[in-house]
A = this chain, B = another copy of it.
């Protein structure tokens, strides 16, 4: 089971143009700082936030309770010129979870209703063993050599966005989701998907865009644990230590020791 939180700036559209349109460089600074802060604040509790549309963000929040959400919501009100609403959903798949979360927010009123502010409706997961996050870190093979150093910046950007759109649509077929995290990287909460699903999906994307992908898949109790595992998987693929371009690591099973040791020792070890 995965827990997904939706974060929505309250009545933001009207604010951006009241009393007159606000300077765009300020809005960009404001929105990206909100995203930065949310990552630090959810990250303090091993969550992970995606910018999505900047005014509507999504987070993986397994292990993060109502009180912690409330404290972050307060902190935004205390430091920003607007407030945010938050709702979470819990489900077998990420897509189902966000659907539940969205419905909760929508039921309380419109995103541009000025009387609907600071909704807080958090469904929490209990601590049982099946409540893990599955998270894939998807990466383009050798973007530096094939695009960044070769093509002009805009063409590279268009290519990355072609992959992005293909990926987020493909993932939806599996009730998973995908988000851009910078460079040539994407993160996909994907509970329920298999390595074979990824290989098939990458095949499709390769056919439509000509671009090769690889993915480390991590499983863990929190977004951070899963993400760390996914990163290590990706490094193992890079180091040609894996059979295919997709590789899964489970935090609980991962070596007998713990991740702290692994990090110290480096990843050049037998993992499975």
Contacts and interface: CB of A to CB of B under 8 A. Distances in A.
Interface of A: 6, 12-13, 17, 19-33, 35-37, 39-45, 47-49, 51-56, 58, 68, 71-72, 74-75, 77-81, 95, 98-99, 101-103, 106, 110-112, 137, 144-145, 148-154, 156-158, 160-162, 164-165, 168-169, 172, 177, 181-184, 187, 223-224, 227-228, 231-232, 234-235, 263, 266-267
Contacts of A54: 182-183
Given A25-B43, A42-B25, A231 B17 contact: yes
Taken together, the copies of this chain in the complex come to: 4
Nearest to A111: B148
Given A25-B224, A32-B32, A102-B153, A56 B148 contact: yes
A71 to B, nearest CB: 7
11 contacts: A20-B267, A21-B231, A25-B49, A26-B75, A29-B43, A30-B78, A53-B157, A56-B153, A99-B152, A158-B165, A158-B169
Most buried by B among A19, A40, A153, A181: A153
Given A24-B231, A29-B79, A56-B156, 19 more contacts: A21-B231, A23-B75, A23-B227, A24-B137, A24-B181, A24-B187, A25-B42, A26-B78, A28-B51, A32-B33, A44-B45, A53-B160, A53-B183, A56-B148, A106-B150, A110-B149, A111-B144, A161-B161, A162-B165
